[in-house]
Chains A and B, each alone.
Chain A
Amino acid sequence: MDHTIPREVLFDMYRRLYLIRQVELKIEEHYHEDEMKTPVHLALGQEAVAVGICIHLTQEDYIFSNHRSHAHYLAKGGDLKAMMAELYCKETGCSRGRGGSMHLIDVSIGHLGSSSMVGGSIPHAVGAAFAIQYKTEDRLAVSFFGDAASEQGVFYESMSWAKKKKLPVIFVCENNEYSVCSHISARQPLIPIAQRAQAFDIPSETIDGMNLLTVYDRMCQATDYVRSGQGPYFLECRVQRWRGHAGSGDPSKEKYRRPAELQEDFLRDPLRDYEGYVAAAEGVKKEDLKTMQDKINAQIEEAFRFAKESPLPKKEELTKYLFS
């Protein structure tokens, strides 16, 4: 692993990781108020993947996300106020209150809208990559999807075409082992998902998605490969979904989680681990992180206030936007 990560990148990753964690916790804290009338799929536990991937992307690169959309949006630099307003279904939301939590968008940073159809956004990333190649642009596209998306036919169809055309796309599978409450072992043969990409001769690996430094390092490899025009790359990131499929907490965990997962020391914490790493890095002072945290927490407070105070959509604009 390359340990010479520049200091500003170390801090930038910390900023993004901490932001996602605190936003998700804040959403969870307020969700019971029933003011966010939209199903939320919290990324708690899975934050390192979004950060380790997006840190290697520019605003010119595209990402395509899914129902568990908050972390991807924030890691790519999506507008926090517009996201929170969307969760409160307000007119000031990133989708003007028409999309909700599963349908976030920020065109200005290359996030063209997340889909809640499992596997549905995989070909969109391939299509954006096709357009990049078509226009001979210097960008790449990233597709974020979960383990259950690997059960859809479109997953295989998309990899096949991406390989055939050598498209600049990185497939990022966040394998948290659960589709709602169904464990992966009940759904598919336990052949590593990354291995399926190898059937298409797409370089792939299964990595520890709970470790930001690992994700950072392997994504570095992936972007080098894809940006040099060699075609698609595949990363399967093993992660832990801390909460239930949707909503706050994991109220029925005793009923579906496997016994080992209920042990107190089972869950790992990508933020705590990374914070320990950054704090120990040469020349980093404890106040540096504290200053960053305070600033982020103030931004989150401001975003929630903005969202709550924003106007709702107008009923007379129900049919607006049906066509463009």
Chain B
Amino acid sequence: MPWTKLQIEREEPAFDENEGQNVRKLSYGEALREALDQALERDPRVYAMGQGVDDPGGMFGSTLDLHKKYGSDRVFDTPLSEEAMIGMAIGSAMVGLRPVSIHNRPDFLMMAMDQIVNAAAKWSYMFAGQVPIPLVIRACVGRGWGSAAQHSQALQGLFVHVPGLKVVMPSTAYDAKGLLINSIADNNPVLFFEQRWLYKHKSHVPEHVYAVPFGEAVVKRPGKDVTILGVSHMVIEALRAADELAAKGIEAEVIDARTLIPFDEQTLLSSLAKTGRLIVADLACKTGGFSAEVLATVSEKGLHSLKKSPVRVAFPDVPTPASFVLEEAYYPGVPDIVRAAETLMV
């Protein structure tokens, strides 16, 4: 069994968003595959490319065998030339195609920063909207099995800082499909970040084509005592923490940000008006990232709601270590969120 899969089997508990319901369910990876399949089916302008998209694993299953269905002209492997390939995708988008550029890890996008930041993000504005860039860049945040400093980074905060990019981070299989459909349908560059440990999770995923809109956070669990705003896998951790907190008499409201750009401030501020307490559970290092942006927004627009100083649960500001002992110390999770909530309730 591939090594990361082994660790995920052991360490990531099962998650079924619709447990006990007799409905059609897909895993996160299957939902991504279905979204891409349906987009390829419906729109001949859509194509998908990336290192290993047509390999036996099919990018953790999310592109599995699509090259057989649509041919290697539309679903194809790419060289390790991230800068040229994303530039190529941008050029093709300028003349009407709708590329989906798939990357095993966000770390690898660093080679393509010129094209993402200086071209994709700028074209609409710089040329007054005459040439849209409908481009989706998918990348899967890694974790565990000693993946270490160059295969585990969650770098979405870098892109949040650049005007002209949309940044999407689904936490469930349902949202993975709906947000990927919406990303492909959008006429702008979208950075779509997944997280490796989410791939085994299941949700009810309708078979039909549906889009989850950008800029709409979702309350995953209502509560009156403390608001936990989660991002990606940290939403799942927040839901687990909320179960533990409920047993201790603390009712946590869990919100999934879903899209970081655009960000749904209103859902967060409304929740804070009710709870007065905030934990931001981010899937990233703390300094200068999305969690900082959320707190800045709250201090500008929701300070009057706060009963206590907000708390961030985030990765420490160091590179990801390899040793499993240090990995355990590195990744925050349920105990950190529970502890933060208890502190806020004192």
Number of B residues whose C-beta is below 8 Å from A?
39
Complex: how many Å from CA A158 to CA B89?
Answer: 12
Whether B118 pairs with A324 at a CB distance below 8 angstroms is no
Within 8 A of A (CB), among B293-340: none
Complex: how many Å from CA A130 to CA B45?
Answer: 12
Asked if B57 is at the interface (CB within 8 A of a chain A CB), the reply is no
B94-133 CB mask vs A (1 if < 8 Å, else 0) is 1111000000000000000011001100011111111111
Asked if A31 is at the interface (CB within 8 A of a chain B CB), the reply is no
Given contacts A105-B130, A124-B90, contact A323 B123 (CB under 8 A): no
Whether A323 pairs with B164 at a CB distance below 8 angstroms is yes
Asked if A10 is at the interface (CB within 8 A of a chain B CB), the reply is no
Whether A322 pairs with B94 at a CB distance below 8 angstroms is no
Asked if A125 is at the interface (CB within 8 A of a chain B CB), the reply is yes
Whether A154 pairs with B84 at a CB distance below 8 angstroms is yes
Please give, as numbers and ranges, the residues of chain A lying within 8 Å of B128 by CB-CB distance. Answer: 95-96, 98-99, 320-321
Complex: how many Å from CA A124 to CA B89?
Answer: 8
Whether B127 pairs with A98 at a CB distance below 8 angstroms is yes
Complex: how many Å from CA A324 to CA B122?
Answer: 11
A127-154 CB mask vs B (1 if < 8 Å, else 0) is 1111110110000010000000000011
Binds B, one of A20-28, A40-48, A110-118, A173-181: A110-118
How many Å from the CB of B148 to the closest CB on chain A? Answer: 25
From A107, A117, A123, contact of B88 by CB (8 A): A123
Given contacts A117-B114, A117-B118, contact A107 B131 (CB under 8 A): yes
Which residue on chain A has the smallest CB distance to residue B133?
A324
Asked if A120 is at the interface (CB within 8 A of a chain B CB), the reply is yes
Which residue on chain A has the smallest CB distance to residue B123?
A113
Asked if B51 is at the interface (CB within 8 A of a chain A CB), the reply is no
How many Å from the CB of B312 to the closest CB on chain A? Answer: 28
Whether A321 pairs with B124 at a CB distance below 8 angstroms is yes
Asked if A103 is at the interface (CB within 8 A of a chain B CB), the reply is yes
Asked if B4 is at the interface (CB within 8 A of a chain A CB), the reply is no
Asked if B163 is at the interface (CB within 8 A of a chain A CB), the reply is yes
Asked if A212 is at the interface (CB within 8 A of a chain B CB), the reply is no
Please give, as numbers and ranges, the residues of chain B lying within 8 Å of A234 by CB-CB distance. Answer: none
Given contacts A98-B126, A107-B130, A321-B128, contact A153 B96 (CB under 8 A): no
Asked if B91 is at the interface (CB within 8 A of a chain A CB), the reply is yes
Whether B87 pairs with A123 at a CB distance below 8 angstroms is yes
Asked if B172 is at the interface (CB within 8 A of a chain A CB), the reply is no
What would 7 more interface pairs be, CB under 8 Å, given A115-B118, A120-B118, A127-B88?
Answer: A113-B131, A117-B114, A123-B91, A126-B87, A127-B87, A134-B92, A323-B187
A-B contact pairs, 18 of them (CB 8 A): A112-B131, A117-B119, A123-B83, A123-B91, A124-B87, A126-B88, A127-B87, A127-B92, A127-B93, A128-B91, A130-B97, A134-B47, A134-B97, A154-B114, A157-B81, A158-B88, A321-B129, A324-B133
B interface, CB within 8 angstroms of A: 47, 73, 79, 81, 83-97, 114-115, 118-119, 123-133, 163-164, 166, 187-188
Q: Which 3 A-B pairs have the closest CB atoms?
A: A127-B91, A123-B87, A157-B84
